[in-house]
Amino acid sequence: MELGIYSFGDVQRDPVSGALGSTAEATRNLLEAIRLADQVGLDYFGIGEHHTREMPASAGPVVLGAAAATTERIRLGSAATVLSTDDPVRVYQQFATVDALSGGRAEIVAGRGSSVESFPLFGYELTEYDDLYEEKLALLLALDAAGPDEDVTWEGRYRAPLRAATIVPQPESGHLPIWRATGGSPDSSLRAGLQGLPVIYGIISGRAAPFGQLAALYRAAAQEAGHGPERVRVAVSNPGFVGDDSQAAKDLWWESYRRSWTELGARRGWPAPERRTYDATTAPGGALFVGNPEEVAASVVDLHRYMGHTRHILQMDLGNLAQRDLLRSIELLGTEVKPLVDAELGNDD
């Protein structure tokens, strides 16, 4: 089992005045977190594309490029790239550049995006949400399938056609791992299976175990399409936090979780979170993996019974979590949670 982190670039808040810090500081904090994740032996760090004041990680590949030069083994990717509002050629070039700088450690997680701020920002219509994604994913896969010395010819509806286009740079191995991200749509699981793409499930609320049915649907579709087991891979991303003490971790992270979801709710029409719902969702079997190292490790192992997944990544920094608390959580995930999970499930790295 690979363990790792994903982040949207949480902005700090001044503990005295309560004022939001700078987005520049949040970007530097991301780089510090990636370096530590590498040092403590974690397997993956993903940056999810967002475009808000509180979550300003709008240019993940740039940060990953900086991290590539200062890390040794951790894999670097997105979590996810909002492909619907981006250009697949630029996405591929950017991650191929990260791949070159890191010696072959880059990956792309391509998603439609639950954060829709990029649609008006880049001039796209939300009514074309699905069609944009499917066409652009098809182009991204075509770019990767072409290989290092083959020009690309392609035509679609939303982007200017390519006529014998040369795409540079090329990935270290000739190809990039490209994952399909989904928040729980059965149709997305089916499509990922039929395409023979690895799939990552974002589990952000409620109970985690029901996602096992989606993983089974994905595997069945892949088998029906004739894809071998080497192309069938499942990962999970969900919010979580590791502390030295269980109750202290849950109390501390509740403040960040409450603040984040209250702000998101005001923007998207969701109700503010309640502590009793949070407590239920951080209990065993819930979607939020919050507690001491033993509890978080047990949650990963338990979910593996349903999902059979080989990678699990946690979002720890939300709601203006202090950087020192994030770094301590990353340290515990690498030095205490990972050995416990490896002892139960082994390490596919």
The Cα-based distances of 163 to 147, 166, 324 in angstroms read 16, 9, 50
Domains of the chain: 2-345 (3.20.20.30)
**Amino acid in position 78:** S
CB-based contact 50:11 (threshold 8 Å): no
Angle of helix 323-332 relative to helix 23-39, nearest 10 degrees, comes to 20
CB-based contact 302:289 (threshold 8 Å): no
How confident is the model at residue 278, as a pLDDT? Answer: 97
**Segments of the chain scoring below 70 in pLDDT:** 114, 347-349
How confident is the model at residue 112, as a pLDDT? Answer: 86
| Per-residue pLDDT tens digits for 77-111 | 999 999 999 999 999 999 999 999 999 999 999 99
Q: HSE of 303 in the Cβ direction (CA atoms, 13 Å)?
A: 31
How confident is the model at residue 266, as a pLDDT? Answer: 84
Among candidate residues 16, 50, 1, the one with its CA nearest the CA of residue 30: 50
Chain-wide mean pLDDT for the chain? 95
